[in-house]
Amino acid sequence: MCAGSPPGVDLREASVTVQRPGTIGAGRVRPERAQLVFDFAEGDRTQVDLLGGKGANLAEMTKLGLPVPPGFTVTTEACRYYLERGEEPQSLRVQITMALRRLENDLGRRLGDVVDPLLVSVRSGAKHSMPGMMETVLNVGLNDYSVKGLAEAAQDERFAWDSYRRLIQMFGRTVLDIPAERFEHELDATKARAGVATDVEIPVSALVELVEEFKNIVQDATGREFPQDPREQLDLAMRAVFNSWNTDRARLYRRRERIQHDLGTAVNICAMVFGNLGETSGTGVCFTRDPASGQPGVYGDYLSNAQGEDVVAGIRNTLTLEDFAALDPASHAELTRIMRRLETHYRDLCDIEFTVERGKLWMLQTRVGKRTAAAAFRIATQLVDERLITRDEALARVTGHQLAQLMFPQFDVDAERVLLTRGMAASPGAAVGKVVFDSATAVAWAARGEPVVLVRRETNPDDLEGMIAATGVLTSRGGKTSHAAVVARGMGRTCVCGAEEIEVDAAGRTLSVNGTQVAEGEVLSIDGSTGEVFAGELPVVASPVVVYLEQGLDAALAVADEQTGELVRSVDRLLRHADQARVLRVRANADTAEDATRARDMGAEGIGLCRTEHMFLGERRVLIERLILADGPGARDAALAELLPLQRADFVALLEAMDGLPTTIRLLDPPLHEFLPDRTELAVRVAVAQATGRGDEPGVAADVTLLSAVDRLHESNPMLGLRGVRLGLSVPGLFAMQVRAIAEAAAERAAAGGRPLVEIMVPLVGSVMELHLIRDEMDGVLAEVAAAAGGAPHIPIGTMIELPRAALTARRIAEAAEFFSFGTNDLTQTTWGFSRDDVEASIFATYLDKGVFTVSPFESLDRDGVGALIRMAVQAGREVRPDIKLGICGEHGGDPESVHFFHDAGLDYVSCSAFRVPVARLEAGRAALASDTAGGRL
Ligand code: ADP
Ligand code: MG
Ligand code: MG
């Protein structure tokens, strides 16, 4: 189908341009005589890249024999060419002429003819539906002459002039960029003069005058007459669609959603059908199930005697589908049949636009509908029960992100609410607090126990403390990669960003939104899962899904209504299916018996990381202090002897909670100075005491000793300093004490009839020599404890792989390690040379914005860099020690995308925070199914 391309149009030339982010369409190989126009009857839904979502689905519906008005699609390739060169490919004009001719012959009418004219709509349609793209222009082809032909053919003058005024209005606004108010103002004036409330009541004579007025507006705004040539109308509209690919809003949206900038949009030209032909006509939208709740049964709105966007514009009250059934039973019955057909064909929830023209139903759009997290789970299992999809497919259709959304506390749906505005859902959760406008106030108020919501235009690194202190963060500017969004997500703080309707007056300590003022100290409720901002305090309830996860299905069902019950059952079924499908085991990071129990409830199959440093906080901090200040072996041993029973008791409790499940305990990791008081505070205290002549008092003398210890241990880069195994090698007895506590705890549990499966993990190893040295000491202690207990269970000793050198020398390290656990937080820091706490606040927003990375490497594993090290170490470790156990215990263990990587890399387990365990279970199952199709894991 390339007969239309004249010689001389070399479409290949564009492909020599080097592809850079942000440039359009470059780097693609194009056939010399590309087909740039496809009739709806030619394509199908697989061609979304070329025909865009709307075009591909119109083609699919046409293929299914559904009543779609005929038309054709101009490809994304034509758009890319145009955007690159600033002009359409020459052959496009001819191809459109030919397609138009086919359409005209098909329908027996000519575009913009003076008798019975063919009219078309010009509709944008990119691969992903996107805000900011040009809105559809309806009724293209009408002019001063064809409007009369239309009136004649339809036997309805009012309809013809209404259609013409709509064309000029839409064309003026979207193609010619004339402010919409100018037209609306005139329309309102006309209604007022005619003494009518709605547009359908405007009499013909007034409509004719209105058209004249609209044409004057166009003349006035553009300096030229409203184009009367139908083909020129079409060409201008098409070009405007192409141009709209690059509007600021579209670009911003693509950046936020990580959609490539060089896809371009298709343009659909579709024969008009008219919903505005009187009471037997109308237009509507419908869904094959409720996309908000997932409730089965169709759902939709209908507006009679209306065209296009009237339904969603809310200019008149819409009817429900039941009302529509009463009004036009035949069309309703056909629509119902088609909805069923589409759902069984797409095997998913469909979102549909239709129009009825004098009792005849037409389908104008369909797509697989977007849905909420709850609807995703419910619909997936409904479709399984209806035998439309398999359980594997159902699992593929829900995501860990959606499950995580369902686990956050929520605002009580039954509570009365006043929605103030909506921003972007940047970091989920439900936060209620008093409004504050600066970081210092946030910190001060939070310190006196008042929950606050920090409201800023945008945040910057100076706001960090305030963000930490606040329960929620709300900004009026910036997208999902803004500083506020990135930092809030990083620390799990609820955040709504880019709520553009909010005017923040930080100096005046007030905000205004849609006419409402909110002063500092007044309460707001923000929903980081939906982006909604409510006035006042909304009650927060625990998620029913969490009740299910923690207490089981029966407990959750007991408190759930019918719909929530179905949701919880769906989650249960899909999670259990994931558990069956997955190869990866899922463990939790937990430091106490309490956390461990909770993790176990959530489905954790072990502890992948128990951080022992948490056991030295609070009252026990002084014991570590004593260890640090010890001035000789005697004092040191005494301090260690005091710590031993405390540690042992911790481990006994932990091993009891995790009886029968593997439990990995990590030896002390952080630098010791973290257990000492703040250096500045201490120095000030000492200085003040000395200056006021109290330098000799005993308390002050102790402070002086402490200060010198703090000074001695001070490091400029603690993250890269005296910590982990280095600490174990330089503080005699410390690791030995911990190992003894672990071994004695295991022996105690075994003696009590338990099944302790403890593993000891050495942090921050970079060289096998470090591990050998530590092991020598540890093996001695283990043997001693075993002898004393008269035999003891084997305790595997392994290491973290969290330094690039450890990954690079994994072959050597595996000689001394019975397992590897990838510490991906530190491995990411050390691979990138990032200090997380510093860079997240200072440069990540910029990096995300500039596209250095599309997601923080601390949130989702950097496959190319950190991932390469992991793959290397996995392979080396297995070569040396085929039965080596391999896991990961960084926060990435609970990140959906990263879980897929860990599955593919061939790890045995992931370990993440208890709350993330269900997410990891679900994604591990999905990863197993995905890799079965893609060819397996390492
Ligand atoms: P959007 O992407 O905003 O949904 P659409 O191209 O689907 O844009 O169209 C906007 C409105 O115009 C919809 O209500 C659609 O049903 C209607 N519409 C589009 N093309 C036609 C047509 N050929 N005849 C009648 N109505 C149409
Ligand atoms: Mg639409
Ligand atoms: Mg670490």
365, 54 Cβ separation under 8 angstroms: yes
Q: Where are the alpha helices (DSSP H) in 758-853?
A: 768-789, 804-808, 810-816, 824-832, 836-842, 844-850
Question: What is the predicted pLDDT for the residue at 315?
Answer: 61
Sorting pLDDT into bands at 50, 70 and 90, what band is 5? very low
Q: How far apart are the first and last CA of the chain?
A: 45
- Residues written for the chain: 938
Amino acid identity, position 918: P
CA nearest 281: which of 306, 264, 258, 257? 306
Structure tokens of 463? Answer: 């706001």
pLDDT value, residue 198: 85
Cα–Cα distances in Å, from 508 out to 437, 438, 494, 515, 667?
9, 12, 25, 16, 52
Q: What is the 3-state secondary structure (H, E, C) of 346-405?
A: HCCCEEEEEEEECCEEEEEEEEECCCCHHHHHHHHHHHHHCCCCCHHHHHHCCCHHHHHH
Architecture of domain 298-371: 2-Layer Sandwich (3.30)
Enter the CATH code of domain 409-542.
3.50.30.10
What are the beta bridge partners of residue 586?
910
Q: Residue 821: which residues within 8 A CB-CB, separation 6 or more?
A: 608, 609, 664, 761, 798, 799, 800, 801, 886, 887, 888, 889, 911
Q: What percent of the chain stands above pLDDT 90? A: 73
* pLDDT for residue 607 is more than 50: yes
Rounding to the nearest 10 degrees, give the CA dihedral for residues 42, 48, 52, 53. Answer: 100
- CA-to-CA distance for 781 and 799, rounded, in angstroms? 18
Burial (CB < 10 A; 0-12, 13-18, 19+), residue 50, is: buried
Contacts of residue 22, defined as CB under 8 A and 6 or more positions apart, other chains included, come to 261, 262
Q: Higher-confidence residue: 631 or 638?
A: 638
Rounded to the nearest integer, the mean pLDDT of the chain is: 91
Q: Are 474 and 499 in contact (CB under 8 A)?
A: yes
Q: Going by CA atoms, what residue is nearest to atom 18 of ligand 1?
A: 308
CA distance linking residue 785 with residue 791, whole number of Å = 8
Residue 93 has pLDDT above 70, yes or no: yes
Q: Other CB atoms closer than 10 Å to residue 91's CB: what's the count?
A: 25
Q: Answer whether residue 336 shows pLDDT above 50.
A: yes
As a whole number of angstroms, the distance between CA 886 and CA 800 comes to: 10
For residue 8, the model assigns a pLDDT of 33
Q: What is the distance in A from the centroid of ligand 1 to the CA of 378? A: 30
875-880 long-range Cβ contacts below 8 angstroms, 24+ apart:
875/938, 876/810, 876/811, 876/814, 877/810, 877/811, 877/813, 877/814, 877/817, 877/820, 878/906, 879/811, 879/814, 880/811, 880/814, 880/815
Write out residues with Cβ below 6 Å of ligand 1.
69, 121, 123, 136, 138, 270-273, 283, 308-309, 353, 355, 364-365
**Sheet of 510-513, strand order:** 502-505, 510-513, 516-519
Tens digits of residue pLDDT in 450-496: 999 999 998 887 888 899 899 999 999 887 767 888 788 767 789 99
Can you list the alpha helix ranges (DSSP code H) found in 843-882? 844-850, 866-880
823 is in an annotated binding site: yes
- What band does 1 get if pLDDT is binned at 50, 70 and 90? very low
Amino acid symbol at 912: C
Least distant ligand from the CA of 823: 3
823 Cα–ligand 3 center, Å:
5
DSSP for 395-450, written as a single string: HHTS-HHHHHHHHS-EE-TTS---EEEE-EEEE-SEEEEEEE-SHHHHHHHHHTT-
Ligand 1 center to residue 137 CA distance, Å? Answer: 8
Q: Is domain 582-668+724-934 classified as CATH 3.20.20.60?
A: yes
Among 258-262, 875-879, 912-916, the least confident range: 258-262
Give pLDDT, residue 9.
Answer: 32
From 40, 61, 123, 166, mutation site for ligand 1 pocket: most ligand atoms within 8 A of C-beta: 123
At position 393, the amino acid (one-letter code) is E
The arithmetic mean of pLDDT across residues 557-584, rounded, is: 95
> Do 378 and 293 form a contact (C-beta atoms < 8 A)?
yes
Inform me whether the pLDDT recorded for 937 exceeds 80: no
Architecture of domain 18-270: 2-Layer Sandwich (3.30)
Separation between Cα atoms, residue 717 and residue 711, nearest integer Å: 14
> What are the residue numbers of the active site?
483, 889
Please count the CA atoms within 13 angstroms of the CA of 432 that sit on its side-chain side.
12
**Can you tell me the distance from the alpha carbon of 216 to that of 185, in angstroms, rounded to the nearest whole number?**
14
> How far is 60 from 64, CA to CA, in rounded Å?
6
Q: What percent of the chain has pLDDT over 70?
A: 95
The Cα 45–Cα 49 span in angstroms is 10
pLDDT digits (tens, 9 = 90+) for 291-300: 888 999 998 8
- Tokens 């506390």, located at residue: 409
**Measuring from atom 7 of ligand 1, which residue has the nearest CA?**
365
825 annotated as belonging to a binding site for a ligand: yes
CB 398: neighbour CB atoms within 10 A? 24
Give the ligand 1 atom nearest the CA of 120: 23
Nearest 5°: phi and psi at 651?
A: -70, -35
45 has binding-site annotation: no
Q: How far is CA 261 from CA 20, 23, 26, 358, 882, in A?
A: 10, 7, 11, 42, 46
Residue indicated by tokens 């069309």? 331
- Which tens digits make up the pLDDT trace of 128-178? 988 788 889 999 999 999 999 999 999 999 999 999 999 999 999 999 999
The one-letter amino acid code at 349 reads L
Q: Do domains 298-371 and 409-542 have the same CATH topology?
A: no
Condensed to tens digits (0 to 9), the pLDDT of residues 529-549 reads 889 999 999 999 889 999 999
DSSP 8-state code for residue 541 = E
460 marked as part of a ligand binding site: no
1-15, 100-114, 535-549: least confidently modelled range: 1-15
Confidence grade of residue 11 (pLDDT, cut at 50, 70, 90)? very low
- Report which protein residue has its CA nearest ligand 1's atom 6: 123
Is residue 824 marked as binding?
A: yes
Atom of ligand 1 nearest to the CA of 354: 16
What is the tens place of the pLDDT at every residue in 380-432?
A: 999 999 999 999 999 999 999 999 989 988 898 888 999 999 998 888 889 99
Q: Are 590 and 894 in contact (CB under 8 A)?
A: no
pLDDT digits (tens, 9 = 90+) for 834-888: 998 888 878 888 888 787 887 889 999 999 999 999 999 999 999 999 999 999 9
pLDDT for 23 equals 39
Instruction: Say if residues 607 and 661 touch (Cβ distance below 8 Å).
Output: yes
Q: Is the pLDDT of residue 902 over 70?
A: yes
pLDDT surpassing 50 at residue 331: yes
Question: What are the tokens at 562?
Answer: 């019918």
Q: How does strand 516-519 pair with strand 472-475?
A: unpaired
Specify the residue for token string 């923690």.
550
- The pLDDT assigned to 846 comes to 85
DSSP-based three-state secondary structure for 510: strand
Return the best residue to mutate from 364, 366, 370 for the ligand 1 pocket (most ligand atoms within 8 A of CB). Answer: 364
Domain edges within the chain: 18-270, 298-371, 409-542, 582-668+724-934, 672-714
Dist. CA 916 → ligand 2 center (Å): 37
Residue 221 and residue 172: Cα distance in Å, rounded? 9
Residue with CA closest to ligand 1 atom 12: 308
Distance 651 CA to ligand 3 centre (A): 21
